[in-house]
Each structure stands twice: as C-alpha cells, then as structure tokens.
Structure 1
Amino acid sequence: MVIEKDKMVSIHYTLKDEDGNVLDSSEGSVPLEYLHGYGNLIPGLERQLEGKEAGKSLSVSVEPAEAYGEYSKDLVVTIPRANFDTGTKIEVGMQFETGSGAMSRIVRVTKIDGDNITVDANHELAGKKLFFDVNITDVRDATDEELSAASGDSCGCSSGGCGGCSGCGGGCGCF
C-alpha cells in the first residue's frame, strides 16, 4: 500500500541539521504515526513521503520554505518586563504561549536587558535546511474515527484539527 491522502502512516525518523547534529529521533521509541494529507508533518517531508511504501527507507532534505519557514526578524520584539506576570521569574530560554486560539504562538526569551525582554516568535528551526532519515514501518487505511478527528467533525473544532478538544472533554479522538 502506498502513502497517499487518508492513509495512516508509521515512520521512524532521525532529524539532523546541516552539520549532521541529531535534533530529534524516534529511534528507540515507538514509530511516529500520522494521518497523511492533512498537514500533520512539515510540508516538504510529507510531500517526499507521498507514493512510498512500507519497508522503504529514504534520506530527504527539506528547505526552510517547506519546513518551518524562513527566519523573520519581524518576529523578534522587545517588550517591557511589566507586560509579564510579576510573580514569574523570566530567564533566557524560557518559552511562553501568547494569544489564544488560532492566534496563539510560542515565543522564546532570547535576551534580558534591565526592564526590557526580547522574545522571538520564530520556530527554533525556522530558516534551517533539515535532513531526515526515514524508515516507513506501516501504511494502512485510516479508520472513519481517525478521518473524522482530522476533519474536526467529532468535536466541533473549527480549525480542522481540534486545537484542544475543549468542546468535547477530550474524548473525541482528536490529537
């Protein structure tokens, strides 16, 4: 069976940067399982898996535009410390979620200068070419429940991917 839309795919992967440093890996753990064709992987990896079969191993590279996007200096801002909860000790490297719903975003603290805190909303892999070693372990038809969860039909999710199952108590199978 080949990988195409509406298939559940299981893969083992190792993600490396341009210097060959391992950034993430599923080896030694359970394979990553995802529903193909619904944006559950970065676009460049999902596209390169299309048409492949279980048992296939491949090495692929993904350009920033098909991964986490180009790095944008516009997403780095300096804000007053007063904008943070006074009980929170802020340190470089901390991450916070800002906004809500579709407008939520993770930001990282990159610099503290007195009463000013610089945060970066770029994904930590933005602007980087990524290298994946992938072993496709299984390809199967998705169940009706898996397809329903992906479309958001099972819990009224408006985002098409159930950003948190707040309307159904988490029992809808959303991932």
Structure 2
Amino acid sequence: MQTVKEGEKVKIHYTGSLDDGTVFDSSQGRDPLEFTIGSGQVIKGFDKGVLGMKVGEEKDIHIPAAEAYGEANPQLIRKIPKASLPKDREPQVGMIMGLVRSDGVQAEAKIIAVTEEDISVDLNHPLAGEALNFKIKLISIN
C-alpha cells in the first residue's frame, strides 16, 4: 500500500488541540485539508507527522512549539499610544486589532494591557510558544 512521501498532495481530516486539551481547530464538518508535503503550506511538524502514513490510517501527533509556530518572541510585544487609535472604540484586553507593520505588512495583534496613556499589543502568532497535538486521518494521496 502506498505511503505518503515528500512532494505528494494529500487530503486529511484533523483535530488540533493544546496540551491542556483545548481544541483550537478541526476539519470535522468541512472538506478535508488538502496540501502538498514539504511545500510550506502547513507547519513543519505537521508535514513530518503525515509522512509515511497510508490512506485510511489514523494517527496522533505531538508537535513541539519549535516545529509549530515557534516560541513566543518578547520583541513582538509593542506599546502603542492610545492617542493614535481610532476614537470610536475603547480598547480592551483580549481584543484583536489589525495593524500595519513598519514594513507595510498587515498583521493582527492581541491587546494584552491597557493604561491611561497606551496599550500593549502582542504580535506573536496566537499559538506561538504552544506545543500542538493533532488527531489526523489520511483521506487520500494524489
């Protein structure tokens, strides 16, 4: 029976969770995820976990933070003066806001602190610093 190799297109169903059991994503109830192994479409650890699987096989994989979204980078915590924010909405801890970085790229940031003068935002990926767990089932290899 054929097994998944580098460069092959696959379809899988998956459920992703954190070490505490919190589910952060799932393909259940949707079309399977389709991607090419080694193309950079998914995190490195996900590619590695699918390699060698056979159609119909189910597997649990654990991906350390370094092979997922990396460790949280403290340099991606920034302070923004409240005066530079739109006046129509009061910033609150936990809100997600869109920003344009100095290189012109749009990014999402989570507000992590609010003071009288400014807000602190976290530009790290929401899953940075987290080990991820996936239950996966290989649907097809093309």
* Correspondence 1:28-43 to 2 at 5 A: 28-43=29-44
Kept in 1: contact 2:96–2:108 (CA 8 A): no
> How has the CA–CA distance of structure 1 residues 72 and 91 changed in structure 2, closer, same or farther, with 3 Å as cutoff?
same
Q: Which amino acid aligns with 2:127?
A: L
Stretch deviating more after TM superposition (44-53 or 117-126): 44-53
Percent identity over paired residues: 31
CA distance in 2, matches of 1:53, 1:23: 25
CA distance in 2, matches of 1:51, 1:100: 42
Q: Which amino acid aligns with 1:33?
A: E
Runs of 5+ unmatched residues, structure 1 = 141-175
Kept in 2: contact 1:62–1:131 (CA 8 A): yes
> How has the CA–CA distance of structure 1 residues 44 and 25 changed in structure 2, closer, same or farther, with 3 Å as cutoff?
same
Going by fraction, where is strand more abundant, 1 or 2?
A: 2
Going by fraction, where is helix more abundant, 1 or 2?
A: 1
> How has the CA–CA distance of structure 1 residues 43 and 91 changed in structure 2, closer, same or farther, with 3 Å as cutoff?
same
> Which protein has greater RCO, CA pairs closer than 8 Å, 6+ apart?
2
Kept in 1: contact 2:16–2:134 (CA 8 A): yes
Shift, 1:100, TM fit: 7.7
> How has the CA–CA distance of structure 1 residues 40 and 100 changed in structure 2, closer, same or farther, with 3 Å as cutoff?
farther
Q: Which amino acid aligns with 1:117?
A: I
Report what 1:135 is aligned to.
137
CA distance in 1, matches of 2:116, 2:104: 32
The answer as to 2:107 corresponding to 1:105 is yes
Shift, 1:126, TM fit: 0.8
Report what 1:2 is aligned to.
3
CA RMSD, 1 decimal? 2.0
Name the TM-score, length of structure 1 as normaliser. Answer: 0.71
CA distance in 1, matches of 2:101, 2:117: 22
CA distance in 2, matches of 1:102, 1:56: 43
Shift, 1:60, TM fit: 0.6
Report what 1:95 is aligned to.
97
Kept in 2: contact 1:4–1:37 (CA 8 A): no
Report what 1:173 is aligned to.
none
* Correspondence 1:54-65 to 2 at 5 A: 54-65=55-66
CA distance in 2, matches of 1:60, 1:106: 28
CA distance in 2, matches of 1:36, 1:11: 12
Report what 1:84 is aligned to.
85
Name the TM-score, length of structure 2 as normaliser. Answer: 0.86
Aligned pairs, how many?
140
